[in-house]
Amino acid sequence: MELLAPAGGMEQLRAAVRFGADAVYLAADKFGMRARAANFALEDIPAAVAFAHAQGVKVHVTCNILMHPDDIAALPDYFRALDAAGVDAFIIGDLGAFAIAGEVAPRVERHVSTQASVANGAAARVWHSLGAKRVVCAREMSLEDIRRLREDTPPDLEIEAFAHGAMCMAVSGRCLISSYLAGRSGNKGHCTQPCRWSYQLEEEKRPGEFFPIEEDDRGTFIMNAKDMNMLAHLRELADAGVDSIKIEGRNKKAFYVASVVGAYRRVLDGEPAETVADELLAVSHRPYGTGFYFEEAEQAPAYDGYEQETMHVADVVGCEAIQCPVRQRPGGVSHVGDDFRGEAEIDDGNMRHPSGALSHDLYVLCRNRFAEGDELEILVPHEPARTLAVRDLHWLSTFGPDVHDEDAPATPEEALARVEADDWVPAAAANRSCNLYRIAADGPVPAGSFLRVRTFRRSARHG
């Protein structure tokens, strides 16, 4: 099965690609259902596509809002621009938009969004006859429903289904509550998530007197859907005929995307789900369920909130083996310039610890506080997380949000390319967000990995 990952911005796209996505789905700055995501300016789409394609990853672009006349009028030029950018597929929910895409960008595959609520073979066959390459199953379908759809449709029509992430209480996400209560339409990408709010009952003849909907005087989150987690059921999805599993989350950060994509990739590649399951507890999530696949979906009425077992503390932006000139200390123990990190042996010009592992400098961009001596975990692509004890922590004084010199480096990569030895300052803690730090590591760590610390957190209105 294809692993289809969310890319709310360029950082998320890079994380999805590095951690094993076969395809990503994203939106430009209009016509997508996640208006609050970073998204992509139309002129930035070619670079995003080029990055993904260089790694053999396809790019699907969402165009799945409820279309009004002005939207339809703007679509031809929009689709042509995306076609020129090289995108692989459009995800469309509106029949008029679907027809326009076929006329002006026939090269690009057309996938029918879950917003179209395709829930049976007859509907799927009609979309296929109009040129659809793929249908995204309505979220209300069971595995048995999907199996019947597969049997009732042409074999060249692909089936995509959600496997992980937030669920909507409305039929395939077509909800009017946000528009009614907040004036912001979920069908136009501006959902305020009123289904997550707490509700109490007021009887019209007794204004101001509120009654709990359930036996809880704090109200109830009666419409609050559990998050989906199908990691342990990928074989059942494949057996039902699903060609592509989709991870929800275009509003999520890169660390979340990397964690979830990495977990699903490892199971798809053959690891037992039970050995990987904890990775999905590490990131922020609501209580998990399996949607409608096996039975009626469950709600989480006790509270609206998230919990997680780790906190993201840094992004790995570079790693360098120490290959400096070697001189002898008294007693014959070798060290490297003034950057000695303890007793070591020398092999081919590289410093080795007594264990035989090369010593490396790990360069990280701080996201949350950590300190010398802390035990962190390194999240790397295609592997279980491993531990890292923070030692020899240094801060780079020439880069960060508070550095305003005209010639100051603009990116971490530029800063590392220009760094001088004196720019590194010993630090007891990494406590400057978006600043660069250096840590000693016993082995190589690929750029694009993440550092996290074990700490349970819960964010909830009630519970």
Same domain, 278 and 371: no
Last residue of a domain, one of 287, 303, 334: 287
Looking at the fold, whether 237 and 317 belong to one and the same domain comes out as no
Asked whether residue 178 is assigned to any structural domain, the reply reads no
- Domain shared by 317 and 244, yes or no: no
Cα angle 154-58-101, degrees, rounded to a multiple of 5: 65
| Amino acid identity, position 429 | A
pLDDT digits (tens, 9 = 90+) for 94-105: 999 999 999 999
Residue 39 lies in a domain: yes
pLDDT in tens, 357-407: 468 999 999 999 999 999 999 999 999 999 999 999 999 999 999 998 889
Q: What are phi and psi of 257, to 5 degrees?
A: -60, -45
Place of tokens 């990995």: 449
Task: Judge if 316 and 366 occupy the same domain.
Answer: yes
Co-location of 141 and 72 in the same domain: yes
Whether residue 255 is predicted with pLDDT greater than 80 in this model: the reply is yes
Domain count, the chain: 2
Whether residue 38 is contained in a domain is answered as yes
SS3 assignment, position 141:
coil
Q: What percent of the chain has pLDDT over 70?
A: 77
Measure the CA–CA gap between 59 and 15, rounded to whole angstroms: 14
CA–CA gap between residue 298 and residue 144 (Å, rounded) = 18
Same domain, 318 and 259: no
Q: Which domain range does residue 50 map to? A: 2-167+227-287
Per-residue confidence band for 191, with pLDDT thresholds at 50, 70 and 90:
low
Q: The domain that contains 32 carries what CATH number?
A: 3.20.20.60
On whether both 279 and 377 belong to a single domain, the answer is no
Residue 93: CB atoms within 10 Å: 26
Residue 177, Cβ density class (10 Å: 0-12 exposed, 13-18 middle, ≥19 buried): middle
What's the mean pLDDT when you consider all of the chain?
Answer: 85
- Which residue reads 């979220």 in tokens? 139
What is the pTM (predicted TM-score) of this model? 0.83
Listed residue (253, 246, 260) closest to 38, CA to CA = 253
Distance CA 163, CA 438 (A): 37
Give the phi and the psi of residue 275 in degrees, each rounded to 5: -80, -15
> Are residues 276 and 372 both part of a single domain?
no
Note whether residue 295 is domain-resident.
no
In a domain, residue 303? The reply is no
User: Same domain for 316 and 256?
Assistant: no
Closest Cα to residue 41, out of 73, 78, 16, 94? 78
CATH number, domain of 414, equals: 2.40.30.10
pLDDT reported for residue 118: 94
> Are 70 and 161 within one domain?
yes
Are residues 242 and 116 both part of a single domain? yes
Q: Span 314-324, mean pLDDT?
A: 86
pLDDT tens for residues 118-153? 999 999 999 999 999 999 999 889 999 999 999 999
Within a domain: residue 343?
no
Over residues 175-181, the mean pLDDT reads 57
At 286-305, the pLDDT tens digits run 889 999 999 876 766 666 67
Q: What is the b/e burial string over 443-463, where b = at least 16 CB atoms within 10 angstroms of the residue's CB?
A: bebeebbbbbbeeeeeeeeee
Residues 13 and 83 in one domain: yes
Asked, for residue 23, whether it belongs to a domain, the answer is yes
Q: What is the pLDDT of residue 327?
A: 37
Does the structure show a pLDDT above 70 at 444?
yes
Most confident residue range from 36-40, 198-202, 295-299, 437-441: 437-441
Q: Which two tokens stand for residue 177?
A: 């509550």
DSSP string across 52-114:
HHHTT-EEEEEE-SPPPHHHHHHHHHHHHHHHHHT--EEEE--HHHHHHHHHH-TTSEEEE-G
